[in-house]
Amino acid sequence: MAVQITDANFEANVLKSSIPVLIDFWAPWCGPCRAMGPVIDELAAEYDGKVLIAKMNVDENPATPSKYAIRAIPTLILFKGGEVVEQITGAVSKSSIKDMIAQKALG
């Protein structure tokens, strides 16, 4: 399962993480976000210990999405060493996400 990230724990769990972090910015009312949910959970299992796969509900946590100028959801942001290294907006395939992780996080 993907880890739930909030505005309160964002710095500790994402910016100070010793491994890369992929966050799925989503909301319960967003159809494409709900469709991506199972894919995000599968990735969390596949990358356990190598990449932290997380989700952030934009309705419950407005500060972080605002800071990173999230204008549409779902948006995936990959952090490495506390810095944004890649961002994808919209529903994308699992293989596209895996390619991004391989190139930007583990490469």
Q: Which residues are catalytic?
A: 30, 33
Per-residue tokens: 76: 């995936």
Question: What phi, psi does 25 have (nearest 5°)?
Answer: -85, 120
Residues 6+ apart with CB under 8 A from 73: 25, 26, 27, 30, 32, 33, 58, 89
Closest by Cα among 71, 1, 4 to 39: 1
